[in-house]
A and B are shown apart, each in its own frame.
Chain A
């Protein structure tokens, strides 16, 4: 069982440029997955699954593609 983390833009710096990372699903929250990947939660502005915003305590399901958006410039 896997989910796929897709860091967008600057967030690829935290994944050595990888654009799509398969991680075991294992019932982890988004926050826990970020921690495991070494991506500070604070730099992730939005988490989307099928283009819908989900909170960081959401548990992705098998096969979900979890897109991570950084905070760009705001306001």
Chain B
């Protein structure tokens, strides 16, 4: 099959059995790869009601057809499982080199199932695949583990690891790769830890066959040329995502003190140029990237290197917890990366804790004597470590803000800024209807990467609650995750203005399968609806109540800044949801209708 690695690897960590089978052509046709393969195997192989941290859950790591090829940004890998944070669908994407290496080894996906008795790592060198003892690695940081394995096996191995966060089953533990990249959200690292799988090390020496090699190279060169000629390239390369911190501050969308407002008085210290001047030492990119957005930094105050911080971490471990010094944010980023916890969720959990502390819902006795006021960097650093190790209050906070709020009560539930149990990422949306709807309806919980809609609200007006906003969110929810199925980065389109219609002809030349952009978007819509079916099947009573907005945005007006006094009412949020469901072909409870399932070829999957 042109364009693909060709095989799917199945690793049973309970029995040690390792088998491989050809990548099904109909799977590639209907689900493309990446997150498409992930949801297919999650839905069809993980039994209903499986414990996310038990042996029946599976962790599916997948490259996509474009991974490892010359198209720009061909370095994305998807990790899918049942989420220990939300109880529903988890899919986290990581950039780097591993996805290419997996394909060169001849594989498109790895299905990890069961649970090992003792810590192991998966060794893959083309067709030589083994489970090896990892007892000497267990307990080490995620980055330290990667360094150690590269020393043991060779620099050419590409490695994914978990840190203590994953080992200790922190519900938002992440999977780390390439000295500072993460598959961050939803607790995919905890699932890997529950299987006592410390790392995966891959070396591949094969290649990828294209149906039309000349045509594919021409298509890829055209895309790279367009990236190189982009007027925004130089700025993007210099700053990466921190470039937008000043804009987000200006429009009042920078999460500040647990989303109390959208503008942070110390934000200028976190702007792109300030960061570049103070801590950035070099740029860093993923496989095949013509526009490296990674910023590798060194903080003199704390004496550590870190990739980052990128925008989300600046928001969630900076302004949202009240830290206004980029060196402190960088150190918090380093701690989260080495310990293996998602910077977005850990920032959200700490911000929630600080909000409860400042409002008197909890006191020092509830947080091991820490002074958990906003802006206390020592509290931030200490809490990250306690959480990763499940020490003291860290044991409760490792469960996520929703569960911690339920434990504390006394109004804490209103302060947990989450949807479906996942902490909201770094866009404050007291009055940003499209972005709020994006968070409410995201298929993994409150994550922005599916639909980054804040600019639509800025451009069309924050006050309108109109069907076009739902339409915009739906479009973005199809085009953006399409990249996660293709195994390539979307940021060349998103940030450099690369025409996304260039991907379909490139994919056709690679695979030999004729598909238009519309065909690809239809596949993405199919994947989206299957993830919805997964939630319906797995979560008792799932429905529109699970698409509810966080009370922070409906009950607590923004305290200051450009959106001071604003919020979105519950009725407005419900109105947005009604428009969204109608346009999606879902019923009033958010269930895809039979007609929609038939249209997308999903009838056989319906749990109702």
Chain A residues near B (Cβ < 8 Å): 8-9, 41-46, 48, 51-56, 67, 69, 71-75
**Nearest CB in chain B: distance from A50 CB, A:** 10
Bound Cα distance from A41 to B246, whole angstroms: 12
A-B contact pairs, 25 of them (CB 8 A): A8-B232, A9-B231, A43-B459, A45-B243, A46-B244, A51-B235, A52-B238, A53-B235, A53-B239, A53-B271, A53-B273, A55-B246, A56-B250, A71-B247, A71-B455, A73-B480, A73-B495, A74-B241, A74-B448, A74-B455, A75-B241, A75-B311, A75-B425, A75-B452, A75-B494
A33 to B81, CA, bound (A): 51
A-chain residues with CB within 8 Å of residue B312 when the two chains form the complex: 75
Check if B494 sits within 8 Å of A74, measured CB to CB. Answer: yes
Is B375 among interface residues, defined by CB-CB distance under 8 A? no
Least Cβ distance of B481 to chain A in Å? 12
Report the bound CA distance from A52 to B493 in whole Å: 22
Residues of B at the A interface (CB closer than 8 Å) are 231-232, 234-235, 238-239, 241, 243-244, 246-247, 250-251, 268, 271-273, 311-312, 425, 448-449, 452, 454-455, 458-459, 480, 490, 493-497
A38: min CB distance to chain B, Å: 15
Which residue of chain A has the shortest Cβ distance to B252 in the bound complex? A42
User: Known contacts A45-B247, A75-B449: does B458 contact A9 (CB below 8 Å)?
Assistant: no
Q: Which of B243, B490, B493, B494 contacts A46 (CB 8 A)?
A: B243
For B311, what are the chain A residues with a Cβ–Cβ distance below 8 Å? 75
How close is A43's CB to chain B, nearest CB, in angstroms? 6
Given contacts A9-B497, A74-B455, contact A69 B246 (CB under 8 A): no
The answer on a CB contact under 8 Å between B238 and A51 is yes
Residues of B close to A55: CB separation below 8 A: 246, 268, 271
**Looking across the interface, which residue of chain A has its beta carbon closest to that of B562?**
A42
A39 to chain B, nearest CB (A): 13
Nearest-CB distance from B555 to chain A (Å)?
26
Q: Could you tell me if B458 and A43 are in contact, using CB atoms closer than 8 angstroms?
A: yes
Task: Please measure, in the bound complex, the distance between the C-alpha atom of A56 and the C-alpha atom of B247, giving whole angstroms.
Answer: 10
User: What is the CB-to-nearest-CB distance from A46 to chain B, in angstroms, rounded to a whole number?
Assistant: 5
Residues of B near A56 (CB, < 8 A) are 246, 250
Shortest C-beta distance, B52 to chain A (Å), equals 26
Complex Cα distance, B196 from A49, in Å, reads: 51
Chain A neighbourhood of B493, CB < 8 A: 73
Query: Measured between C-beta atoms, what is the minimum distance from B324 to chain A in Å?
Result: 16
Hey, which chain B residues are within 8 Å of A42, CB to CB?
A: 250-251, 458
Interface centre among A9, A53, A56 (most CB of B within 10 A): A53
Which residue of the partner chain A has the closest CB to B448?
Answer: A75
CA distance A46 to B234 in the complex (A): 12
Residues of B within 8 A of A46 (CB): 235, 239, 243-244, 246-247, 272
Q: Is A72 a contact of B495 with CB atoms below 8 Å? A: yes
| Contact between A69 and B235, CB atoms less than 8 A apart | yes
